[in-house]
A and B are shown apart, each in its own frame.
Chain A
Amino acid sequence: MQVATRDAYGQALKELGEQYPDVVVLDADLSKSTKTVDFARAFPDRFFDMGIAEQNMMAVAAGLAASGKVVFASTFAIFATGRAYEQIRNSVAYAQLNVKVCATHAGITVGEDGSSHQSVEDIALMRVIPNMKVVVPADGPSTAWAVRAIYHQPGPVYLRMGRPKVPVVYDSVADLKIGQSVKLRDGGDVGILACGIMVSEALQAAAMLAEKGIEATVLDVHTIKPLDRESILETARKTGCLVTAEEHSIIGGLGGAVSELTASEYPVPVVRVGVRDLFGQSGNPRELMEYYGLTAQEIANAAQISMSQKG
């Protein structure tokens, strides 16, 4: 089954609104694409379209949050974290406000719109800000979980979602917790740490490796900040080599975070699968994933390279 994370977001946000009257939603003229339109139709009084004005949207979110609201502010990832970066940093995060920056259309799977609309830097940009939590769900069910979880998580959060339909990974999300990665497969030869749409690719890669007699541990690192140090280090100790996989630049995202952790705590080879310091471009999502090497095959290759680098 395939569900777009943004569709799950729209539905979950509406349900959250039914339950909690302090939820207020903002959008910047993209409500039909980010799916906040579901909330807007159900609760027109608690939805404000701020127009094509992302910077102001974040400052308004700060003001609402400073007045006791739990604010979900949505637009495309590039405009949320790029255009409005400094507003998020100074007005939202520094002030530790209850603003949930919920961005859709992250990564290259935006597709045909091309580079101007494809954010491959947003995890890095959000991760570097103090007080900010960063959540990158793998599928529809875990997105719905994340929307509820971040409501209950005081302070600023960045939630990253995509445009296309993606395979469902989770049957049950009952045990998910912010800051705690999920072990989806256990193996002693290599550890594959993935987030977002790369989780299902990682599981496919692990199956491909198993056919060659290589057993991989697969972790869904849905929370990039705070990073689940214990599980990642435990995997590093057990397997002795890691691969990271993300629909994001190999600089500064999950791969960056894992490398920083292992370099100082338990050095092991880390091979990063992601966009290699490039801008995106137009193309259909699957073609682009092939072009930029965001595939199960690429992860499987990286696993073998990482294994060959073991001391």
Chain B
Amino acid sequence: MREINQQVIEKIESKARRLRREVIRMVGIAGSGHPGGALSAADLVACLYFWEMRYDPKRPDWPDRDRFVLSKGHAAPLLYAVLAESGFFPPEMLGTLRRLGSPLQGHPDMRKLPGVEASTGSLGQGIGWAVGMALAARLDGRDSRVYVLLGDGELEEGMVWEAVMAASHYRLGNLVALIDNNGLQIDGPLSDVMSVEPIGDKFRAFGWETREIDGHEIGAILHTLNEARQVKDRPFAVIARTVKGKGCSFMEGQVDWHGKAPTPEELERALREFDSV
């Protein structure tokens, strides 16, 4: 097992910062999109792509790769930023987000862009895809691991729990679900709209191994992903407490920034914040 040290942590922190900056820039240029939930998940996704997962950008269809499914497909700009940063396609393409004919669709399209493992955007379905991929890996005798990122509001979809049940029934030790527990959905805080707490207890009741961590603490995320590798007979859920809009002062914790693009002035201000760190 590779050593998690301060140097590793700082490297991933700086990657996550780059992803956030890129997310805001892309959404700003596109003039629409979902910055809040992309920013809250940036540290989790940076840990997956710059530490945890096995993949080869030159062979996006390599059968032995690990899979990442963005079940909360509206965070597409984050997925595109990390795929470009990892070398799946040239970063210049990021500027085409949401344009007619662009492979960077408003929600991820696996037939249009290399590195995208699942066409998502309709909430609740990605975790079912992940169960299917984990079953297939086992069937083929591959040691590929499958990671799926869900929103906390997304957990309100009944079919999420159908997939949670199936993952546990089939003892999918190669499956890790990460919950971006930012506490907000579109109509407001989950606690007002439709409460899903206690999330950890629910997963445990379904037979999952769980950890509840700070989703912005790189060290904690990496250690938890290591722990997940030790659990071989059950699926593993990481319930990551996060802040929606994390990293952009005027977006943090604001429900309005779920699905709204910054104006040119706001974009400039946000980028200045990143560049002054």
Residues of A bordering B, CB below 8 Å: 27, 29-33, 37, 49-53, 55-56, 78-79, 82-83, 111-117, 281-284, 287-288, 291
Task: Tell whether B244 is near chain A: CB-to-CB under 8 Å.
Answer: no
Task: Tell whether B56 is near chain A: CB-to-CB under 8 Å.
Answer: no
Task: Tell whether B186 is near chain A: CB-to-CB under 8 Å.
Answer: yes
Please state if B187 and A282 are interface contacts (CB–CB under 8 Å). Answer: no
* Min distance, Cβ A58 to any Cβ of chain B, angstroms: 12
Which of chain B's residues have a CB closer than 8 A to the CB of A112?
A: 30-33, 98, 106
11 A-B pairs, CB-CB below 8 angstroms? Answer: A29-B185, A30-B187, A32-B187, A52-B185, A53-B157, A114-B105, A116-B106, A116-B107, A116-B122, A282-B98, A283-B100
Identify the interface centre among B99, B101, B194: most chain A CB within 10 Å of its CB. B194
Please state if B122 and A114 are interface contacts (CB–CB under 8 Å). Answer: no
In Å, the complex CA distance between A37 and B153 comes to: 18
In Å, the complex CA distance between A27 and B187 comes to: 10
In Å, the complex CA distance between A31 and B73 comes to: 20
Number of interface residues of B (CB under 8 A): 31
What 6 pairs between A and B have smallest CB-CB spacing?
A: A51-B194, A116-B121, A283-B100, A114-B106, A51-B156, A112-B98
Contacting residue for B194 out of A31, A49, A116, A284, CB 8 A: A49
Contacting residue for B186 out of A30, A83, A114, A288, CB 8 A: A30
Residues of B bordering A, CB below 8 Å: 30-33, 73, 98-102, 105-107, 109, 119-124, 153-154, 156-158, 185-187, 190, 193-194
In Å, the complex CA distance between A50 and B33 comes to: 24
Which of chain A's residues have a CB closer than 8 A to the CB of B157?
A: 52-53
* Min distance, Cβ B268 to any Cβ of chain A, angstroms: 22
Please state if A113 and B121 are interface contacts (CB–CB under 8 Å). Answer: yes
Given A29-B153, A29-B185, A282-B122 contact (CB < 8 Å)? no
Please state if A116 and B119 are interface contacts (CB–CB under 8 Å). Answer: yes
In Å, the complex CA distance between A29 and B33 comes to: 17
Which of chain A's residues have a CB closer than 8 A to the CB of B187?
A: 27, 29-32, 37, 49
Please state if A114 and B100 are interface contacts (CB–CB under 8 Å). Answer: no
Please state if A283 and B193 are interface contacts (CB–CB under 8 Å). Answer: no
7 extra interface residue pairs, beta carbon distance < 8 Å, beyond A31-B187, A116-B122, A281-B105: A49-B194, A53-B157, A112-B30, A114-B105, A116-B120, A116-B121, A281-B100
* Min distance, Cβ B126 to any Cβ of chain A, angstroms: 11
Please state if A284 and B100 are interface contacts (CB–CB under 8 Å). Answer: yes
Which of chain B's residues have a CB closer than 8 A to the CB of A27?
A: 187
In Å, the complex CA distance between A3 and B210 comes to: 49
Which of chain A's residues have a CB closer than 8 A to the CB of B98?
A: 112, 114, 282-283
In Å, the complex CA distance between A145 and B120 comes to: 36
* Min distance, Cβ B87 to any Cβ of chain A, angstroms: 24
- Nearest B residue to A114 via CB reads B106
Please state if B121 and A52 are interface contacts (CB–CB under 8 Å). Answer: no
- Nearest B residue to A52 via CB reads B156
In Å, the complex CA distance between A27 and B109 comes to: 27
- Nearest A residue to B74 via CB reads A113
Identify the interface centre among A31, A49, A56: most chain B CB within 10 Å of its CB. A49
Identify the interface centre among A52, A78, A112: most chain B CB within 10 Å of its CB. A52
